[in-house]
Amino acid sequence: KSHIARMLCCASLGPFIPAGVSSSATACSRQRYCVRSHRPSYHVAATAMLAATLRRCSRIALRQQASSVFVELDLLTVASSKLPLSTDETFRQALLNGFAPVVSREGGNCFCPSVHNGNRQTLVNMLKNCRLESPEVFAHAESEELTRIFLKQLWAEAVKVGLAVDQEGLPMRAAAAEVTKSFLSKAEKQAESSRLTENGEPTWRPTPCWLSKEALKREHLCPPSPEDFEEDILPFWREQLARVDRVTALKLVPQLGGDNRFGWLRHKASGVPTGLFEEALQWKAELPECVLLVQVGDFFEAWGVDAVMLVQWCGLNPMSRKPRAGFPISAELLQRTLDSLIRADLSVAVIVQVGTKGNAKKVPRLVRQVVSPGAPTYLHGHELKRSGDAAAGEFSEGRPYVAMRLRSDGLLYAEIRPFKREIRFREGVTPEGVEALLEENEGVAWPVLVGGPRRSFLRANQWKWFPKHRKWLPGPSEMSDADFLEACCREVCSSLRLPEDPPFVKVCLDTRDSLQPLSVTTARNLGVLLREGVPSLVSHMLPPDAPAFTKRLCRRWLCAPRSPSIVQAMRELLQCLLSDGSLCLPTLHRLPALAKVLAYISAKSASERLFRDLRECCTGMIQVFSEVQFKAIWPPLLEIVAADVGETSLDRLTIVGELQSITSLIDEWVHDERISDEAAVGIHVSDDDTTQRSVERFLEANEMFRGVASQKQPLVEEAYERVQVARIELCNAIKEGLPDEQNDSLIYSIIDNDICYRQKPLKNGCSARDRKGKTKQHRYTTKRLEAAMDFYGEAVRAAQTAVQDALSQLSAELRSFVLPMRAAIGAAEILVTAHRHVSHTSAARWQLPALVEGSSFDALVAPYWLERGDAVVSRVKLSSLGAIATGPNMAGKSTLMRALGASALLANCGFLCPCHSSSRIPRYRQVFFLAADGDRPSEGVSAFGYEALQSATLLQRACPGTLALVDEFGRGTEPRAAEAAVCALLEELSARGTHFVLATHLHGVADIQLKLPGRSQPSFWRMGMSADLQEPRWTYKLEEGICRDSFAWHTLKKFGWSDSALERFHGFQQLQRDLVDAEPKASSTSEALSPSSESSSKDVAMGSGLKATATLLADVCSKDPASVVRLRPESMPPASISAGKAVVYVLVLESGSLYVGQTDHLHARLATHRRRFGSDLHEILLLGVKGTAEARRCETLLQRRLLREGSALLSSHDFRNLHFGLEESDEEEDFGNTALRSVDSPCSEDAEQLRRSAKILLDLAEKLAKDELKPDG
């Protein structure tokens, strides 16, 4: 062995050994010996000797610049020689072949310093490109250990010969674990794929027990940690089992074992997966992070770790105290179970039976749907519903899947909605905007998909809000945004097992020159997102009974505003609704959710009720886009809808034509409700009512398919005919066995779903059997009746299948009309939202201000949550000079800024604002509200640290298009540092041309001369108080000037401080004044900024009488007859008179009777009348008047005139009234002090008079206190 080894060394090294080192080795180098020609023991010895010789000669060889092939062969051979002697030669050769491409001359020799340039990561990446190409030699545990040893030795030898060194000549660290994982990954996947396809066996590994030996020694009822489980267990399930805390579930965790997928094999008698469990292991390998619910007969079952999840989160009890759980087949129970698991952020694969046993006695099953937090509704519940089952629950769209791509110019933010088959994305979003968008969705579906350039994850790790459960999507650096979004859609489809066709609709929200998404702090302080103590802005934009989708739409628009063109379109739409008092929208009460329509139609499982709702929506939008009276709203509405569905534009006539095709299809396939289709019609069995009713109940319970599909379709018609034949035979069979005395002779059993006789028939009578085949006591039947029942049951089941097939075919045909359905539902939602917004806010005197470019803020604003009569309106003039607001505690500084910010946000989103119509609001790029939000201990951030973080973000984003509202900045640090920070912040904001308002109690800021070259100082605002310093009273008025005293003692007293505590307060305050010089008081005289004062017709049978009534109504109210609005019973009133406007109305009933009334809240009053009169209501005449007193006067006069002319009035007691309080002045009511009248309150005029008198008295009292008014003697 020694001799052969020496010859091999010389043969390999002869050309590279310097002269004089070894003459014998040089001579032997001419001899050629093949290592493989000798036995393996000789090979090992030769390799060891070769390694020794290499170590001895390496330095001399390198000095003489030996060829790199020597080094390459040397490193691989030496590292191979260090493997254990028991290593398989095939695997040894596979290692050499796998790494040869990069440790070779042709591959560039990754260990050469000229290749890696001293960069360890470059060297590691080149090694990670190597792969084990022979899956047949792969054995998981053994291969991983051998590869790790080989790499360590390879790296060590490279360091010895001076190759793996950095630029400073120091050895670089090895990365054996990283390279080993990548090297074996391909072979591992190939080996698993080979076992799945060739052997037909699922991928699983034997695992005796999931818990480690140390964990088993502890108390079983202690919640485990992820480290307590064996390494073969998927990390996802380790984390889920660590959340288990229910005692019943904790007892099951130690029982998991046998396999590493379910942990259920140990409970199988054979210890080998067979039958259904073998198939379940296959599903688990394909869906490793899903809970599997498998239909087994009449039950859904789960095993192992899935059963533990059911016990923990659904409250189920285990079967036989083993990890096995289940529940009966029911659409309602299934959805309830899915909801519980989804609330725990788990995904569920529902596996159902799709047929009967074949020749192999194996029931075919398939994965019907994967339900997750992003797709939480099971769409195939109709397959599980039986007669009498409750509804499966409400549809839920779920949380969106979120994808983010990190870019240098901001983030690409996308929301993926699987049910809608839609992905909405916006570019250039700031990190603060993404944080708010994530919170606006109230959670997202995991994982969050993230992409970006190399090492961009380091930036993402700095964001505390960035979701931890994320998945990075690898891709080349040149990958486009479109390719990234496609990859995200494929990832979602793969995880939910959805088909990739039809492709997802991509909707790009254009944000150029638009208001940037709000930060979380801004959204919470302005009431867009929920925050305790802050009134909800969305709740005050809409009435309390507004549909949920209107609130979602408004919140989405406020959090992520649209482009200027879309904002302008919304303004035009609202202006049309405000100005046109005769615009009556069609009925749009039952709008189906777009996600629900598309999801069920894609799954071909839509119900008859859903089709009817879709038809009603399409019919309403056909009316809107066809009738001339809606012409003014066509351009803005179509522009908004086009952007919402991802189209550049929409053609109105094309949309109308496609919507008409949709309604025609639905009419063709769905039963016409005007045609009766009752189960018991035309059936007569007995003259006895009780006996006849038993038969009718049986038929009604079985023929639930009636009234669903149209009988015009051949397959439905054929099924109905077969049912009719079976019904006739059933009735004849029942009649044959009835006794002569037919008093309550039949019994209908709901449980067994059959009809039996109480008495045994004289002819062919026998005992009846229940559904399990057992004989019933005192229940009888006949052979003919049994056969007729079986025939009838088959016919009913065939009819149910035919009806469901008809609905499925309708769904398939409607799949080609996705765009018009999206447009119709989207347009209806926008139109209803705009109408409800206008009708509600116009009653509160909200207005549509002028939106100007690059101007100063000049508006009369009021708090959005206060009634106008209770609010103090302030005139705000704000330019790029900014303003500093001071004032006492609780004087309204924060309220003023919140009102200012809300008005700016609403105006820039296109909505009505709590301001005057003459207001001018600039177009802003950002609205930022900075307020103290406390500390964040979990993130290691103090209260002032969080203020510093928010202000740093503001300074990074500030520009001339920014509105910055800073509320008491520096609250978390000492006063001197706070003053310095405030002054620095003001100078920075002013230098950037930002509109800002700073509210502060640091009064010294007003005395510091800010360095603003070439510019004036900021404006100084203060919140007013009465002149009585002993008992000060807040006026909440915005004034010019500076407030030097915060009146903290008054606030302390107001909220419960005792007199002794207040005395101590005054004592310490006086002590502070003695220690420092009193600050000079600024002049208190300043001019206060006070607010300035400021049906469609339808032809009917009774046309002539209706026109006469309308003319009489106009005459009484001194109006033009053309101004009378004629409203259909089901239509909504014009938004401008729906609420807060005095209206006189006349209800015209089908009988010809009239009802005359007046109200200040038309929407609510009409809802009451519709409930009272129902279908008797024929038409409504409306006419707005100046005030409540005028409305009552007109109501009385109209009743008298109608009675004189002989009209039939339902109520005429008001015509006897002579006086209705004070007449209103013709002058416009003062904008800032007009109170909102109570709805239909008879005392509203008196209350208004009292309010005015009280105001006059208060003004007189103030003037007396200032000695401005000298009373007479």
Q: For residue 31, what pLDDT is reported?
A: 34
Q: For residue 137, what pLDDT is reported?
A: 63
Res 1101 pLDDT > 60? no
Q: For residue 800, what pLDDT is reported?
A: 93
Q: What angle do CA 680, 684, 688 make, to 5 degrees?
A: 110
CB atoms within 10 A of CB 779: 19
Strand locations in 222-322, DSSP E? Answer: 258-259, 290-296, 299-303
Does an H or E element contain 216, and which? helix 213-217
CB atoms within 10 A of CB 173: 10
Structure tokens at 616: 């009603």
- As a whole number, mean pLDDT of residues 554-575 equals 93
- As a whole number, mean pLDDT of residues 34-56 equals 44
Mean pLDDT of the chain: 81
ω before 914 within 30° of 0 (cis)?
A: no
Residue 430: partners with Cβ closer than 8 Å, 6 or more residues away: 410, 411, 516, 517, 519, 957
- As a whole number, mean pLDDT of residues 145-168 equals 84
pLDDT tens-digit series, residues 797-842: 999 999 999 999 999 999 999 999 999 999 999 999 999 999 999 9
- As a whole number, mean pLDDT of residues 997-1009 equals 84
d(CA 146, CA 311): 43
pLDDT tens-digit series, residues 654-672: 999 999 999 999 999 999 9
Least trusted range by pLDDT, from 608-622, 721-735, 1032-1046: 1032-1046
Contact 950, 521 (CB under 8 A): yes
Contact 573, 637 (CB under 8 A): yes
Q: For residue 1208, what pLDDT is reported?
A: 83
State the pLDDT confidence band at 938, using cuts at 50, 70 and 90: low
Q: For residue 1039, what pLDDT is reported?
A: 83
- As a whole number, mean pLDDT of residues 393-413 equals 86
Q: For residue 39, what pLDDT is reported?
A: 40
State the pLDDT confidence band at 197, using cuts at 50, 70 and 90: very low
- As a whole number, mean pLDDT of residues 992-998 equals 89
d(CA 1039, CA 1027): 14
Express the helix, strand and coil content of the chain in percent, nearest 5 each.
45, 15, 40
pLDDT tens-digit series, residues 471-513: 888 777 778 889 999 999 999 998 998 887 778 999 998 877 7
Contact 862, 1037 (CB under 8 A): no
- The closest alpha carbon to 800, from 704, 680, 726, belongs to 704
Structure tokens at 945: 């640290």
- As a whole number, mean pLDDT of residues 888-907 equals 90
Angle, helix 714-737 to helix 689-702, in steps of 10 degrees: 150
The residue type at 1224: E
Least trusted range by pLDDT, from 8-17, 264-273, 308-317, 537-546: 8-17
Q: Roughly how many angstroms between the first and final C-alpha of the chain, as a whole number?
A: 136
pLDDT tens-digit series, residues 419-478: 999 999 998 888 888 888 888 777 788 888 988 877 676 777 777 777 778 888 877 777
**Higher per-residue pLDDT: 1194 or 43:** 1194
CA-to-CA dists, residue 395 to 411, 606, 610, angstroms: 32, 12, 11
Least trusted range by pLDDT, from 260-269, 378-387, 541-550, 1163-1172: 378-387
Q: For residue 1246, what pLDDT is reported?
A: 54
Contact 817, 606 (CB under 8 A): no
CB atoms within 10 A of CB 1097: 15
pLDDT tens-digit series, residues 570-625: 999 999 999 887 888 888 878 999 999 999 999 999 999 999 999 999 999 999 99
Angle, helix 176-197 to helix 120-128, in steps of 10 degrees: 20
Structure tokens at 1053: 């007293």
By the 10 Å C-beta count (0-12 exposed, 13-18 middle, 19+ buried), 1216 is classed as exposed
Least trusted range by pLDDT, from 575-584, 642-651, 912-921, 1241-1250: 1241-1250
| Residue 754, beta-bridge partner list | 749
